[in-house]
Amino acid sequence: MSVFDQTSGLRRNGPAAVVFARAEIIQPAPFHKRQARGRAVHQMRGGVSFAALDRPSSFPQQGGWAAVAAQAETPFGPCMHRFTPLIPVAFVLLWHTGFLGARGTMPHGPALSTLSIRFSIVMVLLAGLAWLTRATWPQGWPQRAHLVVAGALIHGVYLGGVFWAVEHDMGAATSALIVGLQPMLTALLAMWLLTERTTLVLWLGLALGLGGTVLVVVFDAGQIGEPRALWAILIALVGISVGSVYQKKFVAPFDWRAGAVWQFAGSLLITVPFTLLLERELPTLTGQYLFWLGWLIVVLSIGAVALLNTLIQSQSAINVASFFYLIPSLVAVTSWLVFGDTMRWTTWIGISLTSFGVWLATRPRV
């Protein structure tokens, strides 16, 4: 048998001719069929769904493949990409109510006892949710240890400091304003740990934010409360800032339903010892206390924390922190509406300066 090879210009004889002839006869499958076959094999081997990779919104500007992996690990991944732009808005609206919850529970129960009860109930609820929905639990003790440390900082230190400050007569808006400096402190930590460059606009934003906070602290001293309240809120500021950068740097993408269980376990390592050391009273189970406790558990510790973990996994630490600059103004307005707080003009100027300064410090740098 003889076959003429048009590519090489040679005539092939014998067995080589048979092989070559068969190769000429058997045409490759159309591209779309080969692509579908490859996708099926990839998914059978446990890879990331190609349906997620085909969607343009599956590649956020920050986070890249980590965000896609995180999306693939959650049961809401295939449909939540449509609502991605609304996640920061929902997070800010939910998160700022935590300051109101602290204010609402204070008359009926000690701060740290309330937090310990809250974290314990949240752990049980999330563990049940993870079991019922067959969530993926963190693998390996290093990942679990990082989740515990991040939770201790973000929930234990941060919320413990905020609740302690509010309990010792610091206004909700003032506490929100001081911890609202978190974006700037996070930017400094990110520049140090993640070697990000600085600009003149960044330092101008830092200065304006600091000036706004000093304005409130100096002229609204009555809103600061006891001196130890100021120390507590500063510790809370450090906790949320360091915790956000730590989680971004060391914690791999995880399923929030199971990972949050380890985070709240870490938060209990902070609140329980201080509860036993500093507090002797138990909460009074009034209707107002139970309402705000339920709000803090469901809306804050489950809803808002799930959104926060999603943002940290999908965006840079500085961008996530920048969402916090809206919270002080929201807390001030909501406290005025709900609790009838009076706001001095210096407080509003301080909030405006701090918000503008944080926006300058955390805006995208080119």
Task: Render pLDDT for 58-87 as a digit per residue (tens, 0 to 9).
Answer: 333 334 333 433 443 444 444 445 656 678
Task: Classify residue 176: in a domain, yes or no.
Answer: yes
- Residues 223 and 357 grouped into a single domain: yes
Give the residue from 68, 66, 69 showing the smallest Cα distance to 57. 68
Which residues of the chain have a pLDDT value below 50? Answer: 1-12, 14, 16-26, 31-32, 39-80
Rounded-to-integer distance, Cα 143 and Cα 81, Å: 26
Angle between helices 227-250 and 141-151 (to 10 degrees): 150
Residue 350, CA distances (Å) to 184, 196, 364 in order = 15, 28, 23
Task: Classify residue 52: in a domain, yes or no.
Answer: no
| Two tokens, residue 108 | 């009926």
DSSP reduced 3-state for 353: helix
- Residues 18 and 136 grouped into a single domain: no
- Residues 8 and 73 grouped into a single domain: no
Question: Please, what's the largest Cα pairwise distance for the chain?
Answer: 102
- Residues 97 and 37 grouped into a single domain: no
- Residues 13 and 93 grouped into a single domain: no
Residue 213's φ and ψ, nearest 5 degrees, are -70, -45
Give the residue from 98, 76, 74 showing the smallest Cα distance to 299. 98
Task: Classify residue 120: in a domain, yes or no.
Answer: yes
- Residues 41 and 78 grouped into a single domain: no
Residues whose CB is less than 8 angstroms from the CB of residue 120 and which lie 6 or more positions away in sequence, other chains included? 268
Rounded-to-integer distance, Cα 362 and Cα 88, Å: 15
State the residue range of the domain holding 41.
2-47
Angle between helices 256-278 and 141-151 (to 10 degrees): 50
Rounded-to-integer distance, Cα 351 and Cα 211, Å: 10
- Residues 301 and 212 grouped into a single domain: yes
pLDDT in tens, 256-303: 899 999 999 999 999 999 999 989 888 999 999 999 999 999 998 888
Q: How many domains does one find in the chain?
A: 2
Rounded-to-integer distance, Cα 130 and Cα 259, Å: 9
- Residues 29 and 177 grouped into a single domain: no
- Residues 94 and 226 grouped into a single domain: yes
pLDDT of residue 218: 66
Give burial (CB, 10 Å; 0-12/13-18/19+) of 129: middle
- Residues 207 and 280 grouped into a single domain: yes
Contact 257, 124 (CB under 8 A): no
Task: Classify residue 190: in a domain, yes or no.
Answer: yes
Rounded-to-integer distance, Cα 256 and Cα 247, Å: 13
Task: Classify residue 306: in a domain, yes or no.
Answer: yes
Task: Classify residue 59: in a domain, yes or no.
Answer: no
Contact 220, 347 (CB under 8 A): yes
Task: Classify residue 158: in a domain, yes or no.
Answer: yes
The DSSP symbol for 299 reads: I
Tokens 């120390």 -> residue: 231
- Residues 30 and 74 grouped into a single domain: no
| Two tokens, residue 42 | 């990839």
The type of residue at 292 is W
Task: Classify residue 188: in a domain, yes or no.
Answer: yes
- Residues 34 and 132 grouped into a single domain: no
